[in-house]
Amino acid sequence: MTDRPAGRLQQSKTDVWGSVLDDGEVRPASENRDDHAGFALARGTFINQAGKQVCAQLRELGTLTRFARNDTLLPFNAASDHVLLIEEGLVKVLLPGQGRELAAGIYGPGELMGDQGVLDGARRSATVVAHTRGAATRISGRLFLNYLDRNPAVFVALCGILRHRLRKADHRQVTFAFQNVATRVARQLLAWSETLGIETAEGVVISGLSRKDLSQCIGAGETTVDAVLKEFTGRGLVRTHWRKYVLPSVVRLREHVDSGDREHG
C-alpha cells in the first residue's frame, strides 16, 4: 500500500462521490469503467450522515492510502489505533468463526471503518479486507477522538450510525434463524440493489460481487446459493454474470420475498 496526503481530494468539485484517480481528481461512480470495482455511492453512509464538510476536515487529519484487492486493512484482534474513511473501492467485513467465513457486510465509498474499536478502546472484533482495489484515508485514533471532542454533533451522528449497524446485526440473526436460503438470497440482492446498485435500461445492476460473496453474506453454502440463483434465473427474477447480478424488476423480487414471508408467517 502507498500513502500520500489526503488534501488533494478537496480540489474536486464533483457533487457525486466516486473514484479517486491517480492524479488526485475524483470521477463520479457512474463513470467508473472498472468491472472489478463497479459500485454506486451507497446511501446512508458516514459521509451522507455527517456531511461532506466533516469528511473534508477528517481528510486533513489523515493520509490517503491505496490498497489492492484482498489486502487486510484492519486485522481481527489488532489494536484499534486508527479509523479508515473509504474513498474508493469496496471493502468486506469478515467475522471470526469456525469453518465458513461469514461476511458482516460489504461497504463502499463514504463509509467509516474501525470507529467502534477506537471509541471503546477495544481490540478489533472483525477483519476488514479489500474486496477491490481502492483507497482510504487513514486517521489516527487520537486525532479522530480529539476531533469528536471538538465536534459533538459529529459524535451524535456517529452514534446513530453505530445503532443502525447493531440493528442490522440483530436482524441478521433473526433472518438466519427463521428464513430459508431462497428468501435470504432475495433479501441480500435487494439490500445490495439499494446500497450498491446502478439503474440501467436492463434493470438494477450490482457489480463486483461474486456468488461466494453472496454465500458469505447470508451464511449458506455456495452450492445451495447457486441452486437458488438458477431458480431465480428461470423465473426471470435475476440474471447472473461474472461478478455481476442484474435485477430486471426489483418490484417483482420484493413481491417474491413478501409472498414467501406470508407463506411462512
The pLDDT > 90 percentage for the chain reads: 44
57 shares a domain with 42 = yes
C-alpha dihedral, 183 to 189 to 68 to 144, nearest 10°: -90
106 and 222 co-located in one domain: no
85/136 Cα distance (integer angstroms): 5
The phi and psi torsions of 218 (rounded to 5 degrees) equal -110, 0
195 and 169 in a single domain? The answer is: no
> Among residues 111, 153, 105, 172, which one has the least CA distance to residue 136?
111
Do 75 and 201 belong to one domain? no
3-state secondary structure of 256: helix
Amino acid at 33: R
pLDDT band at 251 (very low <50, low <70, confident <90, very high): very high
Local confidence band at 25 (pLDDT 50, 70, 90 cut-offs) = very low
101 lies in the same domain as 22: yes
pLDDT value at residue 205? 93
Least confident segment among 65-74, 99-108, 115-124, 142-151? 99-108
Domain match, 100 and 187 both? no
Considering the domain architecture, whether residues 233 and 111 belong to the same structural domain is answered as: no
> Which range has highest mean pLDDT (46-50, 52-56, 132-136)?
132-136
CATH of the domain at 50: 2.60.120.10
Torsions phi, psi of 159, nearest 5? -60, -35
Other C-beta atoms within 10 Å of 246: how many? 16
pLDDT, position 180: 87
Q: Give the count of domains, the chain.
A: 2
Instruction: Based on the fold, state whether residues 147 and 209 are members of the same structural domain.
Output: no
Q: What is the mean pLDDT of residues 148-156?
A: 90
pLDDT for 130 = 95
Task: Give 100's pLDDT tier (boundaries 50, 70, 90).
Answer: low
CB-CB contact of 17 with 29 (8 Å): yes
Examine the fold and report which residue of 144, 177, 210 is the final residue of a domain before the chain moves on: 177
Asked if residue 193 and residue 107 are part of one domain, the reply reads no
Domain boundary among 148, 177, 206: 177
Query: Is 265 a residue whose pLDDT tops 60?
Result: no
Mean pLDDT computed over 78-87: 95
Q: Which of 160, 177, 194 is the last residue of a domain?
A: 177
Q: What is the DSSP string of 90-129?
A: -EEEEE--SSS-EEEEEE-TT-EESHHHHHHTPPPSSEEE
- Cβ–Cβ under 8 Å, residues 165 and 191: no
Considering the domain architecture, whether residues 90 and 218 belong to the same structural domain is answered as no
Residues 198-220 have a mean pLDDT of: 89
Look up cell 447470508; give the residue: 218
Q: What CATH number is attached to the domain comprising 219? A: 1.10.10.10
Q: For residues 173 and 184, state if they share a domain.
A: no
The per-residue pLDDT for 169 is: 60
CA distance 91 to 85: 11
Domain that holds residue 135: 3-177
Pinpoint the alpha helices (H) of the chain: 46-50, 52-61, 115-120, 141-150, 152-178, 181-195, 211-218, 222-234, 250-264
- Determine the average pLDDT of the residues in 80-104: 85
pLDDT of residue 247: 96
pLDDT above 70 (res 11)? no
Question: With 50 as the cut, is the pLDDT of residue 231 above it?
Answer: yes
- C-beta neighbour count of 77 within 10 angstroms: 11
Which value, to the nearest 10 degrees, does the dihedral of the CA atoms of residues 180, 186, 192, 198 take?
Answer: 170
- Domain check: are 145 and 186 in the same one? no
Mean pLDDT, the chain, whole residue set: 78
